[in-house]
Amino acid sequence: MLTELRGLNEECGVFGVWNHPRAAQITYYALHSLQHRGQEGAGIVVTDGETLRIRKGQGLVTDVFSAECMEKLQGSHAIGHVRYSIGGVNGFENVQPLLFRSQNGDLAIAHNGSLTNAYDLRVVLEEEGSIFQTAADAEILAHLAKRRGTGDSFADRMMTALRQLEGSYAFVILTEDALYVALDPYGLKPLALGSLGEGYVVASETCAFDLIGAKYLRDVKPGEFITIDARGVRGQIFSEPRRQALCSMEYIYFSRPDSNLWGMNVHTARKKLGKALAREYPIDADVVTGVPDSSLSAAIGYAEVTGIPYELGLIKSRYIGRTFIEPSQSLREQGVKLKLSAVRGVVEGKRVVMVDDSCVRGTTSRRITSLLREAGATEVHVLIASPTIQHPCYYGMDTLSTDELVAAHHDVEEMRVLIGADSLGFLSVEKMAEVFDCGLCLACFTGEYPTGEVEASVRCLQASGS
Ligand code: AMP
Ligand code: SF4
């Protein structure tokens, strides 16, 4: 079980809608637009004000929900979740939202993030009599909120429970009579509030709003708890916000280019990163190409500043999942091979600058460098539009172990040799930070974790679990 806990760091997508006659259908479309945040499981809980109904399953949104089952999900309020589990922890029971039934009413919770004190909280709760049914962090919140003496109203109990959590979290919570939203005090995860007709919506990314025709209102504040019910929307700060630290990988890699995070469009941010890269590493080359899809914006930015033509030097197969989901290194390498091909007509006889958004294990860069050479590139210069990742992430990105991080064990010249590139460059932390207006977490680049010392507790979890 402890191994499972260690593995249950998740980068997921959450959505909620309050007061729409076809709440489940709206949630279905929203989850579809958040599908890039998780492809391993999806779920919707809907309420008509009387009871909560659930449908969830493993796989893609389109696999989990049939037209027939959607018809059964009647109600005006709903929450949904798409799940990307890390460390191979699968199982239907961990698919969210989690639904809890009790004599005081039903409760459904969906979570994006990773609690760094999950292990300690579970130990305490189990000693006090809680029996856990899943490895999901969302269940911890439910057990904490259920404890006696934690407050009068439901919202008070929730806020008392939230104050005990450490790490990253964006929660959407549904009861028969309200939708609640909570973001961790650092704002590590993205979460936005919008309006839709007479109702309200909340989503991990604003791209979900565009698809369903919702209007963006604002980002949820770090440490904010929002209640949405028949009386409208009320936000309150449940925990004094510390310094804002939105995960910078959301801008760099994870979010969709058409989403806005704290007012900045993701494509625009990536393009700026590419421009900054060009100023730090101007290369004499014939073409610039990006790794589809997340690096295309940075490659365009690089090309714009250097004047080198941007070309489609790499093509991605649309029908294979993200490489990162493959569990082992060998499978991952196979995955990269299946996924990407170099366009001979574009790169043959050319000096190529290949821009990627990030380098974690170095697998993608190595594979692509050799693909480009096989396709006739005379030089391959690999430029990464973010700094070297040298530290693990404890907040839900799939980089928990230092062992896996190529930059943790090699300097740039050693990495260049491993990758087989003619030159290799990474955007510096300073130049990257200049691109953004909002406070960011940069811990995987700098080792400075916004929540302070997390390594000790996570190490204890790893030692006992694996
Ligand atoms: P790697 O091949 O291990 O160096 O991983 C780098 C590639 O994975 C880049 O092309 C990124 O677009 C992508 N990537 C970076 N971070 C993540 C993440 N947390 N999850 C999935 N893919 C990622
Ligand atoms: Fe994001 Fe890196 Fe911070 Fe994790 S450590 S939250 S991946 S910036």
User: What CATH number is given for 265-449 in this structure?
Assistant: 3.40.50.2020
Statement: residue 398 has pLDDT above 90: no
Residue 305 CA to residue 308 CA, distance in Å, equals 8
CA–CA distances in Å: residue 81 to residues 30, 36, 46, 104:
10, 12, 12, 24
Burial class of residue 287, CB neighbours in 10 A (0-12, 13-18, 19+): buried
Beta bridge partners of 316: 340
User: Cα separation of 58 and 40, whole Å?
Assistant: 6
- The helix/strand/coil state of 286 is coil
Q: Which residue has the tokens 């989901």?
A: 325
pLDDT at 91: 80
pLDDT at 336: 57
Is pLDDT above 60 for 108? Answer: yes
CA of residue 404 to ligand 1 center, whole Å: 12
Mean model confidence pLDDT for the chain: 90
* Angle ∠(456,462,463) on CA atoms, nearest 5: 90
Pick the CATH number of 12-245 from 3.20.20.80, 3.40.47.10, 2.30.40.10, 3.60.20.10: 3.60.20.10
Q: Which residue has the higher pLDDT, 397 or 294?
A: 294
Query: Which among 103, 84, 104, 102 has a CA at the least distance from the CA of 94?
Result: 84
What is the torsion angle, in degrees rounded to the nearest 10, for the CA atoms of residue 266, residue 270, residue 276 and residue 277?
A: 160
Longest dimension (CA), the chain: 72
pLDDT for residue 102: 87
pLDDT at 459: 45
pLDDT confidence of residue 338: 58
Q: Over pLDDT 70: what percentage of the chain?
A: 88
The ligand with the least distance to the CA atom of 245 is 2
Q: Is the pLDDT of residue 150 over 70?
A: no
In this prediction, residue 380 carries a pLDDT of 98
Percent of the chain at pLDDT > 90 equals 80
Dihedral angle, C-alpha 87, 93, 94, 97, nearest 10 °: 160
pLDDT at 387: 98
Higher pLDDT: 336 or 69? It is: 69
Q: How far is the CA of 273 from the centre of ligand 2 (A)?
A: 17
Could you tell me the distance, in angstroms and rounded to a whole number, from the CA of residue 359 to the centre of ligand 1?
Answer: 6
* CB of 248 sitting under 6 A from ligand 2: yes
For 445-452, the CB contacts below 8 A with 24+ separation are: 445/248, 445/386, 445/387, 445/388, 445/389, 445/390, 445/391, 446/391, 447/390, 447/391, 449/394, 450/186, 450/188, 450/242, 450/243, 450/245, 451/116, 451/166, 451/167, 451/186, 451/242, 451/395
Does ligand 2 lie within 6 Å of residue 255's CB atom?
A: no
| Residue 207 designated active-site | no
Write down the pLDDT at residue 10: 53
Residue 23 burial class via C-beta count within 10 angstroms: exposed 0-12, middle 13-18, buried 19 and up: buried
Rounded to 10 deg, the angle between the 363-374 and 412-419 helix axes is: 50
**Threshold 0.75, pTM exceeds:** yes
Ligand 1 atom nearest to 397, measured from its CA: 19
SS3 string, 57-106, reads EECCHHHHCCHHHHHHCCECEEEEEEECECCCCCCHHHCCCEEECCCCCC
What atom of ligand 1 comes closest to residue 359's alpha carbon?
4
Distance 340 CA to ligand 1 centre (A): 14
Assess whether the C-beta atom of 291 lies below 6 angstroms from ligand 1: yes
Tokens standing for residue 30 = 């929203």
In this prediction, residue 320 carries a pLDDT of 61
pLDDT of residue 460: 43
Average pLDDT for residues 248-271, to the nearest whole number?
97
The residues near 416 (Cβ < 8 Å, ≥ 6 apart) are 382, 423, 424
pLDDT digits (tens, 9 = 90+) for 342-368: 999 999 999 999 999 999 999 999 999
Cα angle 102, 103, 104 (rounded to 5 degrees) comes to 90
Dihedral sign from CA coordinates of 194, 171, 357, 36: negative
The two three-digit tokens of residue 289, written as one number = 């190409």
**Residue 465, pLDDT score:** 31
The pLDDT score that the predictor gives to residue 8 is 40
As a whole number, mean pLDDT of residues 270-293 equals 97
pLDDT band at 6, cuts 50/70/90?
very low
Tens digit of pLDDT for each residue in 230-247? 999 999 999 987 789 999
Q: What is the pLDDT of residue 461?
A: 45
Asked if 97 and 110 touch (Cβ cutoff 8 Å), the reply is yes
Whether 119 lines ligand 1, by a CB cut-off of 6 Å, is no
Residue ranges per structural domain of the chain: 12-245, 265-449
pLDDT confidence of residue 337: 59
Question: Which pLDDT does position 466 carry in this prediction?
Answer: 24
pLDDT tens digit sequence for 310-338: 999 999 887 765 544 444 556 555 555 55
Q: Whose CA is nearest to atom 21 of ligand 1?
A: 324
Mean pLDDT of 448-457: 74
